[in-house]
Amino acid sequence: MPGTKKLVIVESPAKAKTIAQYLGSGYEVQASVGHIRDLIEPKNLPPELKKGTLGKFSVDVENGFEPYYVVSDQKKKTVADLKRALKDADELFLATDEDREGEAIAWHLLQVLKPKVPVKRMVFHEITKEAIERARDSTRDIDTALVDAQETRRILDRLYGYEVSPVLWRKVGPGLSAGRVQSAATRLVVDRERERLAFVTASYWDLTASLSPLEQELPFDARLVRIDGARIATGRDFDDKGALKNDSRPLDASSAEALAVALRDPSVPLKVQSVESKPYTRRPAAPFTTSTLQQEAARKLRFSARQTMSVAQSLYENGYITYMRTDSPSLSQQAINAARKQAAELYGPETVPDKPRLYAGKSKNAQEAHEAVRPAGETFRTPQQLASTLRGNDHKLYDLIWKRTIASQMADAKGSTASVVIAAGPTSAGEVAEFAASGTVITFRGFLAAYEESRDEERHGAAEPREAKLPDLKKGQDLRLVDVDAKGHETSPPPRYTEA
């Protein structure tokens, strides 16, 4: 006979412990420890089924692709424990993760436990007292569309792997495997490696001059861009076969060195040819999705993708961040308010724009029910407040997530970018060289007060201007040469993919 307690089933024991504290007496929280059942291996099918339509895949491809599920030996004790707990319950809450896998786990629990008490689907994106209580009070039914999506992927994994892998064993070599995801990923990796093997390196030279106003010791670097009006080739001007894509002029070692020697002649005039100033604006990056979190943690913290997800899982289960598997960069209104309030308190009200920033995912299939990865709670705990609670990698990743979230609701960085062109010459050989330099000065840091996004190195140099100040130069102003350096370069093949 049902009892008077309510049974809540989550996926992990760590999560169960935290949620039990929030729900208090009257609730028992148990963990399924992931999936409780899966497709059986065809070799383990009952003898009477091995010769039938299920025998090849444990999926009946002739009758609606019906899968044959079993509870694994490792999960039989877990299922028995859950059934015992259910006997004393008057209500069952299925509180697995709100994604395809979590929805499928909830459905399998329903199929296996066969509860005779009311069943409610309880979902949350963060493990805080407020979020858990809100989820308890606003339950729903199991989303069968999500369950079908997970089941379809699982069946495709089985069909693809079992059909294609044996072909690889016969045609390529033993021990190889194929898969719905790994085969497509392997194709991308192989295509990129073929691009790299086919790549032909091109060599080119350039000059960098250190220049300064005559009356001041304010040296700045400028790069050679033209000789006698002809643009000098850079790495971007060569294709992957090593050929020039346009009519730019490549410099070789001898001509570059000869020009450097000629420019060192004190009699060669150096004059500012043009000065241009433009406003500079930079927007903050969107809050983290799973993929952008992995990429940024790799760049800033040198974490592997697996390490990032392991640390994020721990932070989520212990109530520090929201759910870490998401395609959406959006924030709830509650999170937007928390980020704006904290930014104003820590960095000044002038760093917060009048209107909140709204972010939307690019993918039409994004799991929009999830928010971005952000600090948990109605108010965010700062990394300093958690310094004694979170240690090592946990604190590093929380700090990264907190900074990115706060910055996403802050004002643009503003400043100005000055660009100058300097004419050098004519030289003794009659050549006129043009050098270009630019400098960006940030006058209002905005979101940069909290966080600056990292970037992967580009094949042909960084596109984002770096903060660097040029002297106050005027058109027609004479300059002097401090030094000039000729340097050789080679074009680079497309980089190999990183795991993030």
Which tens digit of pLDDT belongs to each residue from 265-304?
999 999 999 999 999 999 999 999 999 999 999 999 999 9
* Contact status, residue 492 vs residue 235, Cβ threshold 8 Å: yes
Fold of 203-283+414-490: Topoisomerase I; domain 3 (2.70.20)
Can you tell me the mean pLDDT for 464-487?
Answer: 86
Instruction: Assign 364 a pLDDT band (cuts: 50, 70, 90).
Output: low
* Residue 492 C-beta-side C-alpha neighbours within 13 Å: 9
CATH code that applies to domain 290-411:
1.10.290.10
Q: Please tell me the predicted confidence (pLDDT) of residue 366.
A: 43
Q: Which two tokens stand for residue 379?
A: 């108010």
Provide, rounded to the nearest whole percent, the portion of the chain with pLDDT above 70: 95
CA distance 36 to 76: 8
389-406 pLDDT, tens digit per residue, is 999 999 999 999 999 999
Would the pLDDT of 115 be above 60?
Answer: yes
| Catalytic pick among 323, 347, 398, 451 | 323
Smallest CA-to-CA distance from 325 within 362, 352, 292, 303 is with 292
Segment 126-142 mean pLDDT:
94
Domain with CATH 2.70.20.10 in the chain: 203-283+414-490
| Residues 122-148, mean pLDDT to the nearest whole number | 94
Q: What is the location of CATH 1.10.290.10 in the chain?
A: 290-411
Give the rounded distance of the alpha carbon of 103 from its chain centre. 24
What is the pLDDT, as a whole number, of residue 51?
87
Q: Please tell me the predicted confidence (pLDDT) of residue 499.
A: 84
323 is catalytic: yes
pLDDT of residue 215: 85
* In 302-434, alpha helices (H): 305-317, 333-347, 392-408
Angstrom distances, CA of residue 83 to CA of 28, 36, 86, 115, 458: 13, 13, 5, 9, 56
pLDDT for 365 = 55
**Is the Cα torsion angle 324, 329, 334, 335 positive or negative in sign?**
positive
